[in-house]
A and B are shown apart, each in its own frame.
Chain A
Amino acid sequence: MVSPLVCVKRVVDSSSEVVLTEDAQGVDGRFAGFTMSAHEECAVELAVQVAAAEGGQAAVMTLGDADAVEQLRAALAVGCTSATHVVADSQGFGPADVAREIAAVVRDHEAAGTPHQLVLLGNDAADSGDFQVGIRLAYELGWPVVNGVSNVSVADGEVTASGSGPDGHETFRLPLPAVVTVLEGGVQPRYPTVPGRMKAKKAPVEERQPVATPAGPSRLRLVLPPPSASSVQVLGKGPEAAPAVVDLFEQLGVLP
């Protein structure tokens, strides 16, 4: 039996305009709304699949403010069965701080008799893009880690994980316990069903405090890139623009 833990983060949905907080330390999500990263949606799906195949349970955790429970419930609605919420303002936590808090949850769950042999995370968070929490977690726990894979399966105490590498599709096989960070693209995250959503609403969430004071990220400030002045040349409207388009192709020398 393998009961994976999947780690998710509440991030601003940055598909629309990005606005910074007044202190320039974070992205203001008041207008844009919040989501979890695409990589983590796939990690949740893989955790649920591994648990189902192995007769275990998938647990989800997050470190974030009170509202981050929304992302936990989103994972509960698609098949995770328990949730842990380290309640803290994640902005004050650097990658090493987050890794330490996840490791504490892993150790405490093991001590409580519900061990996780596999921890899945997103390869990089959609907001901070640090690329390191999974690897730092692996060092905290003394477990092996593979990164940026999009398929994960477990059999006979081993994880097989694969994804595209610079030289082709790469496969890794490593013993449990292990940490795996996931890149989107290998699985299709499922949509929550109505009963799934109802169940997630009522599911208990274990709340806890951080085990240590964060040292913080090494961030000075965020800035927005300068807006580029539009210099678009409109070739026309509708099908009448076709000759101008093909002229452009000829001009750029791209017509074979």
Chain B
Amino acid sequence: MILVLVEVSPAGEAVETSREAVTFARDLSAAGGGVPIDAVVVGEPDDALVKTLATYGVRRIHALTGAAYDAYSGAAWAAGLMAVREKAGSVVVMAAGTSRGNEVLAHVGARTGLPMAANAISFHGLSPFTVTRQVVGGAALEEMQLAQRPAIFSVAGHAVEAKPADAPADGELVLETPEVADADLVARVVSTDEPEPDLSGALKSARVVVGAGRGAGSADGFDDLLELADLLEAPLGVSRVVTSLGWRPHHEQVGQTGSRISPDLYIPCGISGAIQHWAGCSSAKAILAINNDPDAPMVTKATHAVIGDLHEIIPAINAEIRRRRGA
């Protein structure tokens, strides 16, 4: 059996990266001759969630319930996941490569003394079981063997597209209350502040993002870029150089150590396209790079480009938008 930790949003839905992980699990199951897939969720899921997971081919949904799971603790989630795995006897324990997913699996790895592969994008072979995973922020790939059982790995975001199964499963719900040792509850969340409005959340879900890098020139060089963002009702996303220099706040950073975005259109202006930045924007459907260097990686990887000084190009675009609107 393949056991997938599925993360649930505050609204009670399976998050997209977890649905991607279940989709990945289905490919693995098919290659293994139809090994069943079970999911572990924390808290009692509603009917809609059980139904969604069933449409993704999940046979059984194990819900970890009880006071031990009320506040997040990586060790407690791992204890619960392992208790389910011991009972059900899975050969694979996997999750989405999110902060939670990687953390909980690392606990499982430490508890079992087995290796864990973070951010797999595909599996390479079944015996011995080998995954290909992203390293160096996606600039290189590693083939890693997970020969022992359970094989523990996370799935990199957007490595596969989340898709329901051709034939849904029955999706039986099983409530579980595995015991959690006090030691596993020592490092748990004591408080959660609501995310400040319109911080990186807006960036991650935006249809259009205006990007700004070192090419903006200074903290005062963003006026035209912000105006373009305003005209397109888009948030601003920036490169790390911009946040390191203190020109813009960190929550606007796009990249390996910032937000991963997947808009319909990303407009990186004065951003070179270093691999760590690319890691955060490569899922954009279209990219319009504005850069004075025609050979910048961002330009060569983009779908569209304008070559030149952004401080001349952006005001012209803003003026053109206003002109067409008759303003």
Contacts and interface: CB of A to CB of B under 8 A. Distances in A.
B127 interface: no
B98 A166 contact: yes
- What does DSSP make chain B's interface, helix, strand, loop or mixed? mixed
A241 interface: yes
A126 B264 contact: no
- What does DSSP make chain A's interface, helix, strand, loop or mixed? mixed
B306 interface: yes
Contacts of B133: 129
Interface in B82-132: 98-100, 102-103, 106-107, 109-111, 113, 115-119, 130, 132
Given A38-B240, A96-B113, A249-B232, A238 B303 contact: no
Nearest to A256: B233
Contact of B187 (A94, A146, A218): A146
B192, B194, B240, B264, most chain A CB atoms within 10 A = B192
A27 B233 contact: no
B303 A231 contact: yes
Interface residues of A, number: 81
Interface in B38-70: none
B111 to A, nearest CB: 7
Contacts of A95: 109, 115-116
15 contacts: A96-B113, A124-B102, A124-B118, A129-B119, A139-B110, A139-B111, A165-B72, A169-B196, A171-B193, A217-B115, A222-B135, A232-B301, A232-B302, A233-B304, A252-B265
Given A14-B276, A15-B276, A130-B118, A165 B134 contact: no
B187 A172 contact: yes
A123 to B, nearest CB: 8
A238 B309 contact: yes
A235 B134 CA distance: 33
Contact of A126 (B72, B137, B274, B312): B137
Contacts, number: 249
A79 B233 CA distance: 44
B115 A241 contact: no
Interface stretch (B159-167, B172-180, B314-322): B314-322
A249 B231 CA distance: 11
Contact of B99 (A147, A168, A222): A147
B194, B294, B303, B304, most chain A CB atoms within 10 A = B304
B324 A20 contact: no
A197 interface: no
Contacts of B244: 188
B195 A238 contact: no
Contact of A223 (B106, B141, B190, B253): B141
B106 A236 contact: no
A172 B189 contact: yes
Nearest to A150: B250
Contacts of B20: none
A218 B136 contact: no
Interface string A223-256: 1110010111111111111111110110010111
A245 B288 contact: yes
A94 B115 contact: yes
A256 B325 CA distance: 10
B34 interface: no
A174 B187 contact: yes
Contact of A254 (B72, B103, B111, B208): B208
B300 to A, nearest CB: 4
Contacts of A132: 106, 109-110, 116, 118
